[in-house]
Structure 1
Amino acid sequence: MSGGPVSAVGTRFFPVTQRVVRRAASTGALHGTTVAVADPVLAAALADALERLDAHIDGEAIGGPLADLDEVRSAIAGSASIAAAEASAWTEVMLRHFARRTNLLLASTETLVVGAGSVAARLQSALVLIGARSTRIDGFPADGIGHGTAVVFATGEGHEAVAPASVIPDAPHPLILVDAARTGSAVDRTAFATGEPVPAREGIDGFRHGREVFLLDQPDRADRTLVNTTTDLTTAFALAALVAWASQPSSPSPDPAASDTTSAFAEAERVLAEELAR
C-alpha cells in the first residue's frame, strides 16, 4: 500500500473498516495500547480508527504485526480477500469505462476474456450476468481469435501482451480489444500501431490488420472506486491484525517482537473474508 493515495474523507466512511472497528471496540483489545506501524501510508489510514479505539501509533514502539514494512506488504499482497475485492472493483471500473468509450451494449455479444487470475474470473462472471456470450481462456489460442468474437478483454494474467499475430485477418467484422490489465499493459499497442490507421471515437485507437481492430485506452487507475476499495480493505486487514495480535496471551519472552504475527495475519484474513461475505 505504501506510496498509494489515501482517501481524505477518513476511515469513518469506509464500510468494512467500520465493521472491524465495531468488532475491535467490543473486545477492548486495543484500548490504551501503543502500536508500531512501519508503513506511513497505512499509518495515516489507520489513525482515525485507532483514535476511536483509544489506541495510538508511536514510531518508537516495538513489535506487532505492522512493525516490519516488508512483512506488512507481503501479508497484504498475499490476502486472497483483498485480491478478490480489488478484482471486483476493477471489473466495475472496466465495464463502466467500456460503456462510456464505445456506447455499446455487451448483452448477446460474443466476448472473450483472456487470463488465468482473479480479474479474468471476475470479468467473466460479470459479463455472463449482463447477458454477454462470454468465454474465458488462460492464453490466446495458437490459431488466433475466433471469427465470431467481437470483444476481447485481455487481463495480462498469465499471458503475453496481445499482438496483431493473435488476430485472424479475414474475420468479417471489426474486433474491439480491451486492455484490462490491473497493472502494466496486456496489449502491445506499438505493434498494433504499425497497421493502417482507422477513424475511431475519442479514447479508442483503430488500426487495420486485415480486419479492423479498435484498442480502448485504459481507465484511470486512480479512480475513486479503486482507491477507496484498496484503502478500506488494507486498513480493515491491518486493524484486524492488530486486534488479533493484542488479543494473544502474553508471551513469556520479554521481547514484544516475539509475539506471533503470522497467526495475527491469518486471523485478519479470516475476519476480512467474513466481513466481505456479509
Structure 2
Amino acid sequence: MGRTRRDLLSRIGAAGSASLALGAGCVGRPVGGSDGGSDDGVGSLDIAFQAPAETTDVNTWLGAERFAPNDYELSTSIDVFEGIDLAVQSVLGGEADMARGSIPAAASIIAAGRPFEFVMSPVETTDYVLVTRPGIESLADIVEQDAVIGMSAPTGLDAVQVAAVMLQAGVIDSIDRLNFQRVGYSSARRTAIRNGEIDVSPQHFAQWLGMRSANPDLNRLLTFGERLDRWVQEAFMIPRETLERKRPEITAFIKGQLRANRALYDGFDRYRGVVK
C-alpha cells in the first residue's frame, strides 16, 4: 500500500470495542495471553484480496494496515486480484496465506470442494448505497421503468444486495423481474451510470460522495446497511494446514478487522477521508 493510502487511513476515527466472532475453529482463542493490546510471538500474514485497489473495502485495509500491526504486532501484506479465482490460486500456490472475498465468492469455493476453512467477519452494515439516475425515486420505479441495474456478476455482492433489498421490501417476488446488466466492478459501474449506460448502481459510500459532487442530479435511493442489518459481507478463505500453523496470526488479523469495522460503523461520513 502506498504512503497516500496510509496517510488517509491514519485520519479515520479511533475504534470502539468489538467482540471476536470467528468461525473455522478460531472462536474464543485469544492471541497470546491477552484479548487486547499487543502480544508477543505473532508473526506475519500474506493476504490475497479480491477487489480493485481503490477507495473500496476500506475496512479491510484499515484492519490490516492499522489495527492488526498497532494492537497485535502483526505484520501484514495484501496483494490485490480482480477475481476470486486468481486470489485463491495465489493461496494454493503458496504465495499467500489466505484469500479474502465476498460471501458469494466463498460459496463458489465451497462448491468446488477446495481444501479451505472459512472465517466470516460480521459487519452490522455494509458500505454500499444504491445510486439511481434522475427520475428513479423508489424501488418500485426500478421495476416499473425496467431500469438497467449494473452489476459485477450474477453472484457478486453488489447484485446479491440489490436482489435482497428488493425481495425484502416486497417489490419483487423473483429476481427475474430485475433488469441486471453485467458491467464490472464498482469503478466501471460509476462510469457507466455517469455516461447513461445504466440507470441503477450499487456503489461504495466513498465513491458515492465523489459521484454526488461531480453530478448532483444522481440520487442515493437507499443505504443498504439501513435495510439489511446484520449483513455478513466478507469471508476469509484459509487452507486448513495454514489455519493450524498460523492460528495466532489469523486470530490477530480478524481481531484487527473487527476493530476496523467498528471504527467505521458509527457513521458513513468516516469514509469521507478516503475519497480520492
Alignment TM class, shorter chain as reference: 0.3 to 0.5
State TM-score, norm by structure 1.
0.38
Considering Cα pairs closer than 8 Å and 6+ residues apart, tell me whether 1 or 2 has the greater RCO: 2
State TM-score, norm by structure 2.
0.39
Higher alpha-carbon Rg: 1
